[in-house]
A and B are shown apart, each in its own frame.
Chain A
Amino acid sequence: MTVATPPTDASRAEPPPNEPQRAPARSRRPWSSAGIPGAPWLVSVAGMAVAVAVVIATGRPDYAQLLFQVLLTTTFAVTWNIIGGLGGQHSFAQPIFFGTGAYFGALMLMRWPGASLALVMLGSGVVAALFAAVLTPCFRARGPYFAILTVAVAEGLRIATSSFGPGRTAGLYLPIKASPDDPTTLLLALCTVALALLTFRVFERTVMGVGLRMVDVDEDAAAAIGVPTLRLKIVAFIAGAPFCGALGALFAASQTFIDPNTVFNLNIAVTAILATLLGGIGTFWGPVIGSVVWELLSFQLRDWLQQPGIILVVNGVILLLVIDLMPRGLFGIGATVRQSRFFRATRQAGQS
């Protein structure tokens, strides 16, 4: 074989001599531009849609509840993965957005019980994004101080709402508008997750993702070569907020009451980070797989163990084991094993 024959494809005809060469990827994947949304997005959303369809078909409320929880956690994890996974900024702000959205949504639904749920979710999303914009001065602090600051805002908000918010500690009582086993609720949650995943995809596959990864590795060096570090961090921070806020409204609509200790709970952020680390930080599939695995595991554990104290202990042990043994998560398990002392020792023994 002397001449490599190009594929005889009409769209790949020889370009005119003076025209710059076009990226061939365009024609191969007509549904995506620069890999957005791309196959992973389609596969993950299709997978979740199938899960929703199956749960609706079986009509079991406990499965619907579990799936709703999985979709919630996935959204928290994916939005955390933008700012925390790509950008390396350890934000604990998820409960802030979720709680703000839940309270806004609840107040809207109490005022106008007939309002369209999708509209209320949209409103809550906008409010959460605006609130995130207000919180951007948090980025003046860096490293552990940034983490402490977001924790402080979340906890402060919880205490402030308990003391001065509508309903105080008891929270707000509202009519169930969309219970979790209602197909509409699951579909709305599915749409929110799909949009959140798409947002992550946009960050991952564009120059913004490159910049965020540079911020993660060395923020000063990134700034020195002209990466707009602060702007990137702010955009990544705000971009995740509307999805958490919208799901807050959906959560409020699915409950008979909401209270500050539930919706501003720091565990929301912890679970999001745990799910992301479990799956693989900074990857597309990490938060998705991690959330599914973690929520299924917790569901089973709650079923088996019954005792709340024991459940906490087992959760803690699993968390520690995951972090100690799989620092790269389920997706990096191959690399972790290859770099382990045991593996290297056995391979060296084999070579000598």
Chain B
Amino acid sequence: MSTAIQVFFNSLSTAAIYAMLAIGLTIFLGTLRILNFAQGDFATAGGYTIFAVVTAFGLSPYLGVIAAMVVGAALGALFFATVQSPLRAAPQINQLLATFGLALIIEGILQFLFTATPKSIPGSHGSIEVLGAYLPTASIVDVVFAAVLISALFLLLQRTNLGRGIRAVSQNAIGASLVGVNPRYVSFIVCVIGGVLSAGAGLVLVTTLFLTPTIGFEQIFKGFTVVVVAGLGNLYRVLIVAALLALTESATSYFISEGIGQLAGFVIIVAILLVRPTGLGRVTA
């Protein structure tokens, strides 16, 4: 029993980061129709921002996350200016490659500023004992933070005019512009929201893993897995799938081996796409 609880606890932080990355990816793919490879690097940039705030000012990482979100918003705006706006009518492969360019730039800047040696924040790795298993304190904060951020996004999407505009554009961009939604404005807001959400995922990176300039890029494939399995159009399903993927990885890593755990996501993505070529969700793309 305590083993099962331990596996569940181990999956919490991972679930938080997958959920934040995948929701960012989903709204990018759903609204802007762009597969964003730079999303993971937004998270890395957020993580390093927190690291810099903590080491320079000695503040708590949970305060540094505000700075990270500001950086994320700026990166989202940069994405809008360099990728979304100039390439909104370009072929998909051009958009795809442009996001790679942005990813390279972010990774390069981080490598220049912080070097490639792994970094972590001292003293963020404590844990408490619950029901006979060890629950890392960082996991609690990570999950709560992710829950708050994602709930705020859901409220924005469901309850505000801006959110209705975003959903309208993702369903039918031309129709939305006919009824008075400014697609350019909505795109900009979506870029900023995606940037903030992904940079928030940097908190999880910095509290549970060691930061390297490429760590976010490695995480983005897990985000893809979640997006593919969940399909577009339903953000609740994205959350469930993110949690399930994290749990699967945690369980396979714990019971079989680390290597199998890392592979689980890729096996799932391949299997799902072979059976359901457009993912498990409603077909929108």
Which residues of A does B touch, CB under 8 Å?
A: 84, 88, 90, 137-138, 140-145, 147-149, 151-153, 155-156, 159-160, 162-164, 270, 273-274, 277, 281, 307-317, 319-320, 323-324, 327
Q: What residue of chain A has the Cβ atom nearest to residue B262's Cβ?
A: A159
- Ordered by A's residue number, 26 sampled pairs between the chains whose C-beta atoms are within 8 Å are A90-B92, A140-B274, A141-B273, A144-B96, A145-B279, A147-B96, A148-B35, A148-B224, A152-B225, A156-B267, A159-B263, A160-B259, A162-B259, A163-B258, A273-B93, A308-B111, A309-B108, A310-B108, A312-B107, A316-B100, A316-B103, A320-B82, A320-B105, A323-B90, A323-B101, A327-B94
Which residues of B have CB within 8 Å of A270?
Answer: 97, 100
Best-buried of A90, A308, A314, A316 by chain B (most CB within 10 Å): A316
Chain B contact-residue range equals: 35 or more
The residue that B259 contacts in the complex, of A152, A163, A320, with Cβ under 8 A, is: A163
Given contacts A159-B262, A277-B94, A315-B108, contact A140 B273 (CB under 8 A): yes
Knowing that A148-B35, A274-B97, A309-B111 are A-B contacts, what are 12 other residue pairs whose CB atoms are under 8 Å apart, sorted by A's residue number? A142-B277, A145-B279, A151-B221, A155-B221, A155-B266, A160-B263, A163-B262, A277-B97, A309-B110, A313-B108, A316-B101, A327-B90
- Would you call A84 and B277 a contact (CB within 8 A)? no
Kindly name the residue among A147, A156, A160, A323 whose own CB sees the greatest number of chain B CB atoms within 10 A.
A323
Task: Tell me if B87 is interfacial: C-beta within 8 Å of chain A.
Answer: yes
Residues in B lying within 8 Å of A, measured CB to CB: 29, 35, 82-83, 86-87, 90-94, 96-98, 100-113, 116, 213, 221, 224-225, 227-228, 257-260, 262-263, 266-267, 269-270, 273-274, 277-279, 285
Instruction: Name the B residues within 8 Å of A159 (CB-CB).
Output: 259, 262-263, 266
Cα A27 to Cα B257 in complex, Å, equals 67
Please report whether the interface of chain A is mostly helix, strand, loop or mixed according to DSSP.
helix
Contact of A319 among B100, B106, B266 (CB under 8 A): B100
Complex alpha-carbon distance, A320 and B228, angstroms = 27
Known contacts A90-B93, A144-B35, A308-B111, A313 near B259 by CB under 8 Å: no
List the A side residues contacting B224 at CB < 8 Å.
148, 151-152
CA separation between A137 and B277, bound complex, in Å?
A: 10
Task: List chain B residues, Cβ under 8 A from A310.
Answer: 108, 112
